[in-house]
Amino acid sequence: MSAVSWTVTGTPIGPLLLAATGRGLVNVVFHADERTARAAVDRLASRLGDEPVEASEDPLLAETVRQLRAYFAGTLREFTVELDWSLSAGFNRRVLRELATGVPYGTVVGYQDLADRVGEPGAARAVGTAMGSNPLPVVVPCHRVVESGGGIGGFGGGLETKRTLLALEGVLPQPLF
């Protein structure tokens, strides 16, 4: 198994833990305070079979931090870092790949529409489960998936974070406070 490196970076939505393998960015974790980061690193060690090493100077992590800063500054609309999909499989991976390539910045898609796009028209709830299992939030934009009836839907990073990301992309008005 390739070495796993990680770092935590501050963002307008709170600290994010970023982890990478030799294949690409493998994990993004919200609310990465010390306790959450430790738990995430332990989960990565268990799932990937390699003890993650803190390494903010890792070139892929440094590039991801650069792209996240540009995204939050409003100057980046598409992430271009390599992704390692090894933390998702099957239906979830198909849905997340479609989301990553087929739902651009500033747009949203309904759970049902995303199920239809991957050839599983009865799987809107399963799409919700796939969003909840997304190991690469923000970079793979699960915040762009909303309820077909106009509701915001759920979000692993919290609804305030989802609203902030959608407002950044111009989908929702900026919060007043």
- Told to judge if 145 belongs to the known catalytic residues of this protein, a careful annotator would answer no
Residue 149 CB-density burial (10 A; 0-12 exposed, 13-18 middle, 19+ buried): exposed
Strand, helix or coil at 99? helix
Distance CA 47, CA 103 (A): 28
**CB 16, CB 32: distance < 8 Å:** yes
Among 81, 142, 145, 166, the one annotated catalytic: 142
Identify which of 168, 131, 164, 158 has the alpha carbon closest to the alpha carbon of residue 147: 131
127, two tokens: 């799409």
User: Cα separations (Å) of 100 from 25, 34, 143?
Assistant: 13, 29, 11
Distance CA 45, CA 35 (A): 16
The catalytic site residues sit at: 142
